[in-house]
Amino acid sequence: MVDESINVQFACQRCLQPITMDESFDNISVHAMAELALPIYSNTSNEIDSTATSFDHFVPPFRMLESMNGTAGFMLVSDGRENTTLGTTLRVRAELYDFLSSNSEIDHPLCDECTDSLLELLDRQLKTAEEEWTDYNNYLKKLEMTDDNPNIEVLEKELHDLNEKEKKLIDELSILQINESEVKSAIKLQEEERARLEIQEERYWREYTKHRRELMTTEDDYRSLEFRIAYSQGQLEKLEKVNVFNVTFHIWHAGHFGTINNFRLGRLPSAQVDWSEINAAWGQTALLLSALARKVGLTFKRYRLVPFGNHSYIESLSDNKELPLYGTGGFKFFWDTKFDAAMVAFLDCLTQFKEEIEKGDSGFCLPYKMEKGKIEDSSTGNSYSIKIQFNSEEQWTKALKFMLTNLKWGLAWVSSQFTDEKADLQTVQ
């Protein structure tokens, strides 16, 4: 039951603002209600057929009479006026708005502003509809004025051809879709292959960079090795040109003394050479003759040279005695015959060396003749003993100088033969 002291006012169904109804709507005749209940649009059979499917999603308009709890579409507002027929008035107005809502697409009631806006929208729609009607009407008149009637058979044939063409195109589309699927599969395989090749390419470039770096390092090592080989080759060629005997044993003279590696061999009253120097000179002389004999493949008869620095000696093969090639000086020394025997044995070995060279080279000849411990100067005919006993220091020193000269000639011959052998070997290579 509605309280009679409360006035009922409706709200606009668009902006939800409360609206005040005109009092003329309080009493509406039955005939007016019946006219309002009539549909606004005529429902012809064609319109029903064309809009039949639209009712699948049709939502009927809200009916105010179905909800009278004061919150569905209107609200109760007390304005201080007494109205004894509030229930009847409310029902009449609700029925009026329900009729209006059911006959149109617009829910009622509406306020003045919303009504004006709606009217403007409807005017624009009406204008658009009138323009469309004018276009259709003009086109209809144009068709009515045309005498050519369409050939149904031709149109049906054209339609049939179009349907066949459509079917053919659909078949082609199906084939193209299948081809597209195959192409997509091929593209996918190619992409996988490309990814695999990219991985291989990256691995290849890493390996290439690694090997390139190793190659550069190897090339640097190779060039360095080439430089070292060239340097070593140059050193080898330089050394091959050097005569080992000439470098190792330098025989020369210093005044009346013959020298070997700057050691003087002999003594003079005016130049008392120390015996340690003489012994060192004899050691170098024994070493040189021993080396020359090995070079020519000579084995001495009766004696064996034993180079041992300043204590070198000659071993007699007949009685296995050691003959010293060094002296100590003093009074006892002059009566010691072993030193003289050693020097005579050395001169015998030098003579054997000369004879061995003459076997291979008949033109070889020494400047001084050697025989039985003596050396003869062919230019003067004088001979000098190599012994120290019963001999003057001057003659002994001169004999040693002549002996070193003969030894130098033998050294020169061996050096020349050695150089020729190297040249022949290089020519063969």
In a domain, 207, yes or no: yes
Summarize pLDDT for 134-169 with one digit per residue, the tens: 999 998 888 778 766 667 888 889 999 999 999 999
Which pLDDT does position 86 carry in this prediction?
A: 55
Q: Which of residues 93, 110, 127 is at a domain's end?
A: 110
394 or 146: whose pLDDT is higher?
394
How many domains are contained in the chain? Answer: 3
The percentage of the chain sitting over the pLDDT mark of 70, rounded to a whole number, equals 72
Same domain, 310 and 326: yes
Q: Same domain for 312 and 265?
A: yes
* Contact partners, residue 108, CB within 8 Å, separation at least 6: 13, 96, 97, 100, 101
Note whether 300 and 424 are same-domain residues. Answer: yes
Please, which pLDDT band fits residue 253 given cuts at 50, 70 and 90? Answer: confident
Q: What percent of the chain stands above pLDDT 90?
A: 25
Question: 180 pLDDT exceeds 90?
Answer: yes
Domain end position, chosen among 221, 241, 261:
241
What is the per-residue pLDDT for 361? 81
Lowest-confidence segment of 1-10, 215-224, 388-397 by average pLDDT: 1-10
Which of residues 78 and 397 earns the better pLDDT score?
397
Same domain, 234 and 259: no
Q: Indicate whether 217 and 282 sit together in one domain.
A: no
Residues 16-50: tens digit of each pLDDT? 788 776 666 666 666 666 666 666 555 544 444 44
User: Which tokens sit at 304?
Assistant: 């064996």
- Check residues 365 and 81 and name the one with the higher pLDDT: 365
Provide the pLDDT confidence category of residue 360 given band limits of 50, 70 and 90.
confident
pLDDT of residue 268: 87
Q: Do residues 409 and 266 share a domain?
A: yes
* 33/148 Cα distance (integer angstroms): 53
Asked whether residue 128 is assigned to any structural domain, the reply reads no
**Which residue range is the domain that position 154 belongs to?**
150-241
Report if residue 145 sits inside a domain. Answer: no
Per mean pLDDT, which range of 44-58, 155-169, 230-244, 257-271 is the poorest?
44-58
Q: 255 and 221 in one domain?
A: no
Q: Residue 134 falls within a domain, yes or no?
A: no
pLDDT, residue 161, reads 93
| Euclidean distance between CA atoms 71 and 77, whole angstroms | 12
- Domain match, 231 and 265 both: no
1 lies in a domain? no
**Which residues, 6+ apart, have CB-to-CB distance to 169 below 8 Å?**
none
Whether 140 maps to a domain, the answer reads: no
* Candidate from 239-243, 283-287, 393-397 with smallest mean pLDDT: 239-243
Residue 304, phi then psi, degrees to nearest 5:
-140, 120
For 272-308, write each residue's pLDDT tens digit. 888 889 999 999 999 999 988 998 888 888 899 999 8
In a domain, 139, yes or no: no
- Could you say which of 110, 137, 159 is where a domain stops? 110
pLDDT digits (tens, 9 = 90+) for 189-211: 999 999 999 999 999 999 999 99
pLDDT the model gives residue 99:
62
HEC profile of the chain = CCCCCCCEEEECCCCCCEECCCHHHCCCCHHHHHHHHCCCCCCCHHHHHHCHHHHHHCCCCCCHHHCCCCCCCEEECCCCCCCCCHHHHHHHHHHHHHHHHHCCCCCCCCCHHHHHHHHHHHHHHHHHHHHHHHHHHHHHHHHHHCCCCCCHHHHHHHHHHHHHHHHHHHHHHHHHHHHHHHHHHHHHHHHHHHHHHHHHHHHHHHHHHHHHHHHHHHHHHHHHHHHHHHHHHHHHHHHHHCCHHHHHCCEEEECCEEEECCEEECCECCECCCHHHHHHHHHHHHHHHHHHHHHHCCCCCCEEEECECECCEEEECCCCCEEECCCCCCCHHHHCHHHHHHHHHHHHHHHHHHHHHHHHCCCCCCCEEEECCEEEECCCCCEEECCCCCCCHHHHHHHHHHHHHHHHHHHHHHHHHHHHHHHHHHHHC
17 and 99 co-located in one domain: yes
Q: Tell me, yes or no, whether 176 and 212 share the same domain.
A: yes
- 356 and 324 within one domain: yes
| Residue 340's CATH number | 1.10.418.40
Residue holding tokens 């044939």? 157
Task: Give the integer Cα–Cα distance in Å for 222 and 391.
Answer: 68
> Do the domain assignments include residue 133?
no
Amino acid sitting at position 251 = I
371 and 322 within one domain: yes
Provide the phi-psi class of 263: left if phi over 0, else alpha when psi is between -120 and 50, else beta.
beta
216: its two tokens: 């550069």
